[in-house]
Each structure stands twice: as structure tokens, then as C-alpha cells.
Structure 1
């Protein structure tokens, strides 16, 4: 969980560069990358909190294990679902969303281990796997941002 907190700090540090775009790396802006990641963190944690552990269904999903084990999401293979596609982005909205995500990360720590969320490709992820997914997903977008700003 500490890793996810550090990632939120890093995302927040990039807010002043929200308008930066580097088409060689991504068609989106730094702000879009930040907001998308925050939308994922927020919505996933809300899903975990609302879940009913008795309805959890384990299924072997090779892709889930490869990505979560390796810690790398391939670029450009899947587009963001509409629910986590950013709308209007400002420094103020990003800062408020970072603060909300910090609160939700704390809430996730207090959720029962059996709670889960259902990922469209990975299936049901219990709390521990959810933390790993959020870390891997955030790192994916942080790498994109770092590259966008390095060039």
C-alpha cells in the first residue's frame, strides 16, 4: 500500500505539466494520463468496497498472472473503458481527485481480504491482487508520463 501512496505523490507532482503532449509516446496529455489513472484507482476501490465476498468466483486467467507477476502492461493493446475516460481536466480537479484517491486507498486497507472487484480481462481480483493491479496499472501510466516529459 505504501507503494501506491508514493505513486499518488508522483502523479500529483506532474500536475503542473498537465498540458504536455508528446505524440511520439502517447496521443494523450500528461493530464489525461493522470486523470485516467486516478479514475481507475477510485472506481476499482469503490468496486471492492461494494463487493459481496460470497459472490467471488476464481477463474484461471493466464493473462492476469503474467501481467501481475511481470508487473508490466503492454502499451497500445487496449483502450480505456468509457467509465475511466477523463473529461475536463484542470489542476484543481486533478488535485481534488488525488486527495480523494488517497482517502480511498486508506479505505481499501480496512476492507476485508475477501472483498474483490471484477476486471474485464482478469476476472475477480481479491483485495491483495487488487493492490497489485493498482500498482502495476499506475506504474504503467507513470512510465508513459515520465517518457513524455523526458523527450
Structure 2
């Protein structure tokens, strides 16, 4: 689907870094490339699943100013937020787990297009993010972690 092309490209880029999943560059991040990949995929998959199971009737237009600002800006600042527990990677990141999450993410982003307009997920800092804004959020978040990986490889 056209609206998810950029996100699909980013997922393919994450996939291309799987062979380097154990690499780290502590000047850029304490985490490994695998951590960046795993976290990005957990966010994509959890957001899509949350939207699929959300009740559009309970959607509230309560997106915070900071959420609107960052989505408009198109980038997230580094080192300012801490990943919620449910999207934090495990201690040991297995290559096979990354490959499975990649396949899930590719399927899950396709499901976005079939969801009702007010399907949503609740972001801990931004409030409710519905279908209209979710792809933008996932693109910015994934690109944020791809940029970290790129800088780690410099």
C-alpha cells in the first residue's frame, strides 16, 4: 500500500542490519544494533496489534502538544525517552527472533490500511494516536533507530 511504502522500506533496512546484530559502538549507544532492531520491531508490532484490538469508539483526541510537535518536526531527540518495558528487547537477542519479528512487522503494517479511521494506540507521552497519524509515528520512530544504527557503523 502506498502510505506504508516508506515504513516497508525502513523494515527492509532494519532487516539488512540483522547480520550485525551483535555489534555495538558505545560512543553512540550502550545498546547493540540488535537492540535497536528488536526495539523498533517490537514497537511496530505492538502498535499494530494495539490498533487492531482497540475500540474506535473510545478514541479520544487527546494528543499532547509535544506529540503533535514531534510528528510535525519529523524526528525524535536522542536519549530523551526510555522505552516502556513491553517494547524493550530481551537480554540476549537471537537472530532468529529478529527474522520472525521482521516477517510479523511486514504483515502487521499491511493491516493498518484495513483498520477503521479511529483505531488507535495509547502512547505513554503523546496520548492516543489514530490511523491517520500512526504510519507517520512509526516511520519517525523507525528512522530514529535506523539513524542510530547508521551512526554506530561510522
Q: Same fold (TM over 0.5)?
A: yes
Q: Alpha-carbon deviations, 1:25-73, whole Å to 9, x = none?
A: 0000000000000000000000101111111111251101111011110
CA–CA separation in structure 2 for the residues paired with 1:36 and 1:63: 22
Scaled by the length of structure 1, what TM-score is found?
0.96
SS at structure 2 position matched to 1:73? coil
Structure 2 residues without counterparts, runs of 5 or longer: none
Task: After superposing the two structures, state which structure 1 stretch, 8-17 or 106-115, moved more.
Answer: 106-115
Equivalences, count: 150
In structure 2, what is the equivalent of residue 11 of structure 1? 14
Does 1:102 find its partner at 2:90?
no
Equivalent positions of 1:2-151 (< 5 A) are 2-87=5-90, 88-150=92-154
Scaled by the length of structure 2, what TM-score is found?
0.95
CA–CA separation in structure 1 for the residues paired with 2:127 and 2:139: 17
Structure 1 residues without counterparts, runs of 5 or longer: none
CA RMSD of aligned residues (A): 0.9
